[in-house]
Amino acid sequence: MKVTLRSAYLCLLFCSSGLLAQSWYPDNDSDGFGDSSADAVFSIESIPGYVLNSTDCNDTNNLVNPGSTEILYNGIDDNCDGQLDEGNQLESQVAANQCGTTLATLASSIYTTCLPQVTAYRFEVINTKTNAIQYLERGVHYFSLTMLPSYDYATTYAIRVELQRNGIWLGYYGNTCLISSPAVLAPSGAAQLVPSQCGSTLSSINSLIATSSLPAVTGYRFRITNISDPDSVNRVQTIDRALQWFSLPMLESYNYGTTYQIEVAVKTTGDYSDFGSVCEISSPAAPTLINCGEYVPESNSIIAAQSLNRATVYRFELTNLDTYITTTVDRPLNWFRFNNIPDYVPGASYGVRISVMTSGSFSPFGDACEIYAPGASKLAQLRKELPETAITIFPNPFSNEVTVVANGFAHDAILAVYDLTGRLLEKKVIKADVSEIRLGSDYPSGVYSLVLDDGDKIQTRRVIKR
């Protein structure tokens, strides 16, 4: 009941005078029941067109009031009790075998129970993530999410149904049912790279990286994270595409010999979804020399690596495997000559690694390769001066451990182990009274240099772990 200032004033006036004022309400349809939404008027006398109750829920229709009998299925609360068709309501809901399920596709039909004399169905669809409500009216008892103005993958919707009977909307809904759109973000969902590419190495830097093409998707978002170099520029990059694929050269930054984590998000009519499962893909490895193990005949002989598409600079890192001094030379072409290397040692053995620049930054180095500088005859002469029998190594190649036997050292010697990049892996002291040591169990597969130094001379040997 609403009380106006005028009514309150009259109430005080009459109450102070000892007269009893009553609340009167307009009865516009003259059915004896006052308008429940109208303001009260206080008076000690009756007012024409007013009554002493406010129970009429529709004061423009004299057939609707608390004294009327409820008429079924006319969409009106005839007796003003706040209910429609009480005790005889016709309700429908989404089919029981669909409630709580995930649709196979966005276009899958969602069915409601079908009732006689029903002429239309009003579907109320609520996005449980955003609480956005949409309505769809249909002359048949089914619909699909793609009929709505807005719909998304990987989303749960709360759905209710209101019926229209003989052209009249009944005014109430049936029970709510939860239905989810396809779960493309699940671990096995479609919003990820195609399974055949996950964990693979691309055959070319230009190879297409693809996800599944999904119906009704209007955009694909790829998030690419460089996990080989956490400190790289543009470590995390995002690219939006109308198509379900991209290639690394489309990114602002990309490299050879790099592993990337790639995630996929999709959009239909609105914003992008969350990202799906992570997939790792590696770009092709950085190149190696074409002729590993060769003796370079002349200082102006070309020593070439594989030529790589989109590589703009080749960085050659040469490590003298006797002195472990490293020299780096950058070239716009995929080859170098020893006359490009200042102060190279003729006949020396060099470990060579290569890195390439693509989009303004260098890739990780590729596998090391051993070559011999021009002047191999000098190397042979130098090695003749070192006793080959100083140590015995077996087995070589080895799979687990290699045994090194020291032959007749008068005093302690130092054994150092290097990989082909010149990195010291370990250093051991061989006592004069110890005949052998074992090592290599924790080495990865590769080629290693064993350097034995007894203080007077050095013996260098190569071993291979399979």
> DSSP readout, 336-352?
E-GGGSTT--TT-EEEE
Q: What share of the chain is helix, strand, coil (3-state, %, to 5)?
A: 5, 35, 55
Domains of the chain: 2-51 (no CATH), 110-180 (2.60.40.10), 209-282 (2.60.40.10), 303-381 (2.60.40.10), 386-465 (2.60.40.3080)
- Higher pLDDT among residues 410 and 160, named by residue: 160
pTM summary value: 0.69
The rounded distance, in Å, linking the Cα atoms of 352 and 318 is: 5
pLDDT exceeding 90 applies to what percent of the chain? Answer: 67
Residue in the structure block whose two tokens are 């956005």: 132
Distance from the Cα of residue 138 to its chain's centroid = 37
pLDDT for 5-58, tens place per residue? 444 554 455 455 557 899 999 999 999 999 999 999 999 999 999 999 999 999
User: What is the CA 419 to chain-centroid distance, rounded?
Assistant: 37
Decide: 33 and 67 in contact? Cβ < 8 Å.
yes
State the pLDDT at residue 367. 92
- The predicted model gives 421-448 an average pLDDT of 83
The pLDDT score that the predictor gives to residue 12 is 52
Confidence class for position 380, pLDDT limits 50, 70, 90: very low
The amino acid sitting at 301 is S
Q: Which residue in this structure is represented by tokens 């089914």?
A: 142
What's at 78, amino acid-wise?
D
For residue 43 the two structure tokens come to 């008076």
Distance separating alpha carbons of residues 238 and 217, to the nearest angstrom: 18
**Which range has the worst mean pLDDT, 21-25, 290-294, 374-378?**
374-378
228 burial class (0-12, 13-18, 19+ CB within 10 angstroms)? middle
Q: What is the dihedral of CA 147, 152, 158, 159, to 10 degrees?
A: 10
Q: What are 92's two structure tokens?
A: 């429908």
Q: Contact, 255 vs 358, CB < 8 A?
A: yes
pLDDT for 293: 84
